[in-house]
Chain A
Amino acid sequence: MRMALVCTLSAIIFVAPAFGQPMPPVPPGEETVDAYTISDANAGATPVDGQDLFAAFHGHEGISRIVDGLVEQVQKDSRLTEIFKASDFVRLRRTLKEQFCHILNGGCSYTGRDMKSVHADHGITTAEFNALVEVLQAAMTREGIVFSAQNRLLAKLAPMKRDAVTR
């Protein structure tokens, strides 16, 4: 009986996520992606405590402007154009906004893929990752985010380097 219970529980825990959240329809303007399991764990970081950092980022509107600015700049920065060449920028904007909002505890769900899968085929180097940090810092500064608040978000994003940098 106990064995049966363990088996049932394991089945629920390990199998359920695979079909727990079905893939949503592809949003307009985005390319299709291979099926994956949708989970906030894919965001690569847990949300910060409290609401003050979300407020310091000027809420949804602030995050939206920062991500739009970031995505615009990565297409212009000569250090980054190569790695973003094949990107679906419509999808990148949406999932980045979700990810930042989720991490800043703005109450968003992250529906993108996990950090390892997202970056697997890009062959990103440490120098390119650092360039991306500089572009993000500039975007946050343009939005008027104070440096200490910028660093609190960067502290959450920093460990993702281990999954993002592959060469």
Chain B
Amino acid sequence: MSRLGVACFALAMWTPLAAYAQEDSPAIDVETGGKLKLTRGVSTVEGQGGGGLTPWALITGNETDRGVGGTAHVTGVELPDYSLLSYGAALGLFDRVELSYTRQEFDTRDVGAALGLGRGFTFGQDIWGAKLRVAGDAIYDQDTWLPQVAIGANWKKNDQGAVVSAVGGRDDEGWETYATATKILLDSSLLLNGTLRWTNANQTGLLGYGGNLNDDHELMGEFSAGWLLSPDIVVGAEYRMKPDNLAIAREDDWVDIYAAWAINHHLTLTGAYVDLGSIATFDDQRGVYLSLQAGF
């Protein structure tokens, strides 16, 4: 819990810092701020700007093409048998490049005891991400069907290599690449997103990368839709396909329904109901997702 405390403290410090950065901006050439609310996305559990479970082509931070921005997030997912904590920070450069780091901690609670790992055994994972916007403007290109498109890559390192190996995972570190397209259909107040991810991560990497059933990277589809209710609120759903590489346990696709509320230009609160399916033989992992993102 002390790590959560540090993360919360960091988040609390962020907003005044962001405000300071904005007041200070005339003194330097690089601007901060300028994006419309919600158009930086929220932070995924893996740290990219996007929805809750899948990255979008939007670049994090409030900056436009003339500046820099950043976000920090704390996300908790409370499931019947597990708890996931995710926290991290990301930088947006000129609404073009996004660099992110996120730490994930997956607490197995009583399951840890049942599996002989010890009560409260926690898998940890560090995720470093980079994303490049390559074409289009999701918001302003309203006279064409062409979406905003970005490509990205994540490098992930699990810190429980021995256990990953014991459950049949091949590696305790791995990489994945993805292409993602975001389109806002203002005419019907809809946001649509599709992502193709080339990955071999087991439960996003919390159970390692590659496994005894399959070690190869595979193409996974991820889909989000959002309905814009106001300049501050979007509600929607997401679906994320996942690999199934481990003989010991079936891995399911992930689904959620969410609501995101931009409290102001700096803070966005996201709540969701998630169905993460079966995780390490424990089925029906449905629960609540809560995320607070602060940014400038």
Contacts and interface: CB of A to CB of B under 8 A. Distances in A.
Contacts of B185: 155
Contact of A155 (B31, B186, B230): B186
A155 B187 contact: yes
B16 interface: no
Interface in B154-186: 185-186
B141 A130 contact: no
B186 A151 contact: yes
A85 interface: no
A151 B228 CA distance: 9
A55 interface: no
Interface residues of A, number: 21
A127 interface: yes
Given A127-B66, A134-B36, A159 B187 contact: no
Given A147-B231, A158-B139, 11 more contacts: A126-B65, A126-B66, A128-B34, A130-B36, A133-B36, A134-B231, A147-B230, A152-B186, A158-B140, A158-B141, A161-B137
A148 B65 CA distance: 28
Contacts, number: 61
A126 B189 contact: no
B109 interface: no
Contacts of A127: 31, 33-35, 64, 66-67
A162 interface: yes
B141 A159 contact: yes
Interface in B107-147: 137, 139-143
Contact of A126 (B34, B143, B230): B34
A92 B50 CA distance: 38
Interface residues of B, number: 25
Contacts of A156: 142
Interchain residue pairs A-B with the least CB separation, the first 5: A127-B34, A155-B186, A126-B64, A158-B142, A155-B187
Interface of B: 31, 33-36, 64-67, 95, 137, 139-143, 185-189, 228-231
12 contacts: A127-B64, A128-B34, A130-B36, A134-B231, A137-B231, A151-B188, A152-B187, A154-B186, A155-B185, A158-B141, A158-B142, A159-B141
A106 B259 CA distance: 36
A147 B187 CA distance: 11
Nearest to B230: A147
B140 A161 contact: yes
A155 B95 CA distance: 21
Interface in A106-133: 125-128, 130-131, 133
B296 to A, nearest CB: 13
Contacts of A147: 189, 228-231
B50 to A, nearest CB: 20
Contacts of B228: 147, 151
Contacts of B143: 158-159
A159 B35 CA distance: 16
Nearest to A158: B142
Contacts of B35: 127, 130
A125 B66 contact: yes
Contacts of B66: 125-127, 167
A125 B189 contact: no
Nearest to B65: A126
Interface in A137-157: 137, 147-148, 151-152, 154-156
Contacts of B64: 125-127, 130
A137 B229 CA distance: 13
Contacts of B229: 147
Contacts of A154: 142, 186
Contacts of B139: 158
Contact of A151 (B34, B65, B137, B189): B189
